[in-house]
Amino acid sequence: QVQLVESGGGLVQPGGSLRLSCVSSVNIFSYATMGWYRQAPGKQRELVATITSHGDPNYADSVKGRFTISRDVAKNTVYLQMNSLKPEDTAVYYCHGRLLALELWGQGTLVTVSS
């Protein structure tokens, strides 16, 4: 059974940085598209970033230039490096993986950007 386990959320000040990690129980990154979503209070879940099985990243306009998605295939881990954080980045962040008909979600990790 493939599972995604997230870590790295927490409280950070505006302008600060945080790195989220998502570990897969099975190495699927050579075949799957991985991504990060977030859901702010009272809002729908939105796509933040994706990285394809070939390592090509894509970003939502709201995070371009500030966030970086990357992966370490050997460690079965995908990262989201978040810099220049803003209060509006506050949300529960979810790791996501898609492989053919299989869709995986992490449990979510809360990121709070506040002074």
Per-residue model confidence as pLDDT tens digits over 37-66 = 999 999 999 999 999 999 999 999 999 999
Predicted pLDDT at 28:
82
- Residue 52 CA to residue 103 CA, distance in Å, equals 14
Of the two residues 111 and 30, the one the predictor is more confident about is: 111
Q: What is the mean pLDDT of the chain?
A: 95
- Residue 107 CA to residue 93 CA, distance in Å, equals 9
Q: Which two tokens stand for residue 106?
A: 């992490």
Tell me what the mean pLDDT of segment 66-78 comes to: 95
- Residue 93 CA to residue 104 CA, distance in Å, equals 14
Of the two residues 2 and 114, the one the predictor is more confident about is: 114
- Residue 94 CA to residue 19 CA, distance in Å, equals 13
Q: Are 34 and 51 in contact (CB under 8 A)?
A: yes
Tell me what the mean pLDDT of segment 76-81 comes to: 96
- Residue 63 CA to residue 89 CA, distance in Å, equals 9
